[in-house]
A = this chain, B = another copy of it.
Amino acid sequence: MKLYEYLENVKSKNPLVQNITNYVSSNDCANILLACGASPVMTNEIDDSIDIASISDGLVLNIGTLNKLIIKSMIYTGKTANKLNHPIVLDPVGVGISKLRTDSVKFLINNLKISVIRGNISEIKFLENKSEHPKGVDSNNLENLYDISESFKKLSKKLNSIIVATGEIDIITDGNKTCFCKNGNTYMKKVSGTGCQLSSVISAFVSSNSDIFFATISAVCSYGICGEIAFSRMNVLDGNSSYRNYIIDAMCNLNSEIFEKKVNYEIR
């Protein structure tokens, strides 16, 4: 199966992706989901969330503006999703910058079967207990990628989740194989919520395909390609706000031909 076929499956299946997420990037997450061919629904309240989990195809848990009721809602909704074998994507936004975030992420990981965990490199390192204190929610460094990826492989095995660590080069591992995705543009860091958007996009892809490792790779490459196309549209007066629009626009127009021409990854 070609990598672009995972994208085509999103468009043909039109999965309903439920997001228990933050209020900062929720509009962008909704629009990028529509752009890639999915239908979004955002919920918070526990009763509402549990009911909707049963008609959704996938669930995103994003702790960007968490509170205690939301975490409770995540657990109960997640258990419903688990029962129905709907994949869960966890975005541990800012794990390590507060005790509540760290405890909540541990609680979610220990009590739910999570299909994919997506964070930036410092967030994923924190999950390994290799914590330099991450700065805010957008820190990142280029480092010795192969070393890092070996330890992420172990983390993936331990947690039984696909790990996605985004940075200049994105690392995706299922504990056996590791994919390095070179698509994307560093300017994406200037846009709030690109990580959140990617987590929602991954959910759309893993909800529409049975091979969730390759679906995740396809999602990460797709979003990276959008970042490249968006950057090539920038004129001299454009900044991060126009860029934000262009990324979502690019997802709207992404097709197999563009994907094949631009995709840039390596699997080890």
Chain A positions within 8 Å of B, measured between CB atoms, are 16, 22-28, 30-31, 34-35, 39-45, 47-48, 51-52, 55, 64-69, 94, 97-101, 133, 135-139, 190-193, 229, 233, 236-242, 244-253
Contact = CB atoms under 8 A, between A and B. Distances in A.
B249 A191 contact: no
Nearest to A17: B136
A168 to B, nearest CB: 17
Contacts of A100: 45, 47-48, 51
Contact of A52 (B67, B98, B252): B98
The winner among A66, A135, A240, A244 for most chain B CB atoms within 10 A is A240
Contacts of A99: 47, 51
A170 to B, nearest CB: 20
Contacts of A39: 135-139
Contact of A65 (B28, B42, B237): B42
Nearest to A47: B100
Contacts of A26: 23-24
Contact of A192 (B31, B48, B238): B31
A45 to B, nearest CB: 4
Nearest to A233: B237
Given A45-B67, A52-B94, 17 more contacts: A16-B135, A23-B23, A34-B190, A35-B239, A39-B137, A41-B137, A48-B101, A51-B97, A51-B98, A51-B99, A55-B97, A67-B69, A237-B250, A239-B250, A242-B245, A242-B246, A242-B249
A18 to B, nearest CB: 9
A94 B42 CA distance: 10
Given A26-B24, A42-B65, A51-B98, A34 B240 contact: yes
A90 to B, nearest CB: 17
23 contacts: A24-B27, A27-B28, A34-B190, A34-B191, A35-B190, A39-B136, A40-B137, A42-B64, A43-B98, A45-B66, A45-B68, A45-B100, A48-B67, A51-B97, A51-B99, A190-B252, A237-B249, A239-B248, A239-B250, A239-B251, A239-B253, A241-B244, A241-B252
